Amino acid sequence: MQLFQYTFLTFVVAFIIQYWIISIIKSNIVKHSTGKLYLSLVSASIMGILEVMIYDTYKSTISLYYYLALGAIIGLSMHMYQSVDDTNYLHELLESHQYETRLSKKVLETTDNSQIITIANNLIHRRSKDIASIQKLIQKPDTNSKGSITKSNLFNYMDVGRGIKQNPGPEHKIGGSL
């Protein structure tokens, strides 16, 4: 096989592994997202560069155009990754939370450590709420979801249940002497 065929095959296989196989292993909620696409292109390009390096070492050559082309794909993909929109971000986050939940459930099956059990149960509980909220946000992105008990914004993690007043004004003392 020629260098182009080696590199192309390596690129395609690495892309498929990064984009689909790892997502299927990590989560049962596998969604397309442009962010995942760009990261998969970066990984596939790196594997392509490694293939070219092996070929060049074996043949004692330097395939500059392959390095430049694959490097350009890496640079372009990294630049494009910065423009990921909210919906794609939420899909990636959903997949990530599903992975954390799946991993925590797996740990609960095998551990007797009470601290790890507590951490895993807390994570499952938190991530389950987050997954439900993210799914609602994906379905209706323009609504400001409120919690059923607190009536506060579901994604306001800082002030929920703490009674912190928003933007308190200056305090004035009434009466008294200076």
Give the model confidence (pLDDT) of 152-168 as tens digits: 665 555 444 445 444 54
pLDDT of residue 139: 85
> 59 and 100 share a domain?
no
pTM for the full predicted model: 0.63
> 47 and 31 share a domain?
yes
What would the two tokens of residue 173 be? 């003392």
> 72 and 11 share a domain?
yes
What would the two tokens of residue 38 be? 């760009």
> 12 and 75 share a domain?
yes
CB 78 within 8 A of CB 42: yes
Distance CA 126, CA 123 (A): 5
pLDDT of residue 157: 53
> 14 and 66 share a domain?
yes
> 10 and 74 share a domain?
yes
The arithmetic mean of pLDDT across residues 71-88, rounded, is: 89
Domain that holds residue 61: 1-84
pLDDT of residue 160: 45
The arithmetic mean of pLDDT across residues 129-136, rounded, is: 87
Total domains, the chain:
2
Q: What digits encode the pLDDT tens for the residues 95-120?
A: 888 888 888 999 999 999 999 999 99
Contacts of 121 (CB under 8 A, 6+ apart): 104, 108
> 79 and 110 share a domain?
no
Q: What digits encode the pLDDT tens for the residues 20-71?
A: 888 777 776 677 778 888 989 999 999 999 999 999 999 999 999 999 999 9
> 50 and 70 share a domain?
yes
pLDDT of residue 154: 59
* Inside any domain, residue 92: yes
**Which one of 84, 119, 151 terminates a domain?**
84
> 49 and 105 share a domain?
no
pLDDT of residue 124: 92
> 77 and 53 share a domain?
yes
**Which one of 51, 84, 117 terminates a domain?**
84
